[in-house]
A and B are shown apart, each in its own frame.
Chain A
């Protein structure tokens, strides 16, 4: 069955430090993968998406993600975190049947 796992429920990083949020997926075919961000009480906004080609994908707000087929992973990274990055982050996979499966989310806390 298709699934998305985000192993970390929450992560705390210092402002200016690097960030990596983990995502593992289970899907038989070539996956269409997404990362979304959600500020408290708001809807989700797309950060980036991967369909094919280069395994390193650039997104908005300085985020990037790397697709690793051998590890079934699509980890999100940012070299230097800003306080405004504090939010919840969701990894998602498009299953092809008009359905997208979302992970449970990772909440990012940024400390000064």
Chain B
């Protein structure tokens, strides 16, 4: 079955540690996205990538980094510079072109202690 996976489902880290969230898709989509979701704030775009080896900052990129070395993979690193990293993180992918729906993974809930 084609789809998008995120791991782990739950992640706990101590303050000051970097952590990497995994996102993999087998839908052959060129575009991939990372969102942060906080209660009452909807989805906020962190980073997006249209093609391999290229990515752009979204609205809240500070304290985050990404890579896109393979079409299928778009990992997100939450660095110690992110002041409030505890949140629900969603990865999505889509075909190129305007108006294409995004397909979402199940999300990773990150808790920083």
Chain A residues with CB under 8 Å of chain B are 9, 32, 34, 36, 41-46, 49, 51, 90, 94, 96, 98-100, 102-105
User: What chain B residues lie within 8 Å of A94 (beta carbons)?
Assistant: 98-99
For residue A58, give the distance in angstroms from its CB to the closest CB of chain B: 15
How many of chain B's residues have a CB under 8 angstroms from any CB in A? 24
For residue B66, give the distance in angstroms from its CB to the closest CB of chain A: 15
Contact pick for A42, options B99, B101, B103, B106, CB 8 Å: B106
Interface residue? B58 (CB, 8 A): yes
For residue B101, give the distance in angstroms from its CB to the closest CB of chain A: 5
**CB distance B99 to A49 under 8 Å?**
yes
Given known A43-B105, A44-B104, contact A104–B98 (CB-CB < 8 A):
no
**CB distance A44 to B58 under 8 Å?**
no
**CB distance A98 to B101 under 8 Å?**
no
Top 7 A-B pairs, shortest CB-CB distance: A43-B104, A32-B99, A104-B42, A102-B43, A44-B104, A102-B42, A46-B101
Cα A10 to Cα B30 in complex, Å, equals 35
Cα A98 to Cα B55 in complex, Å, equals 11
User: What chain A residues lie within 8 Å of B48 (beta carbons)?
Assistant: 98-99
User: What chain A residues lie within 8 Å of B106 (beta carbons)?
Assistant: 41-43
Interface residue? B71 (CB, 8 A): no
Cα A46 to Cα B41 in complex, Å, equals 19
Cα A34 to Cα B88 in complex, Å, equals 21
User: What chain B residues lie within 8 Å of A44 (beta carbons)?
Assistant: 43, 90, 92, 102, 104
Contact pick for B41, options A96, A99, A104, CB 8 Å: A104
B18-62 contacts to A (CB < 8 Å) = 31, 40-43, 45, 48, 50, 56, 58
Contact pick for B40, options A34, A36, A43, A104, CB 8 Å: A104
For residue A99, give the distance in angstroms from its CB to the closest CB of chain B: 6
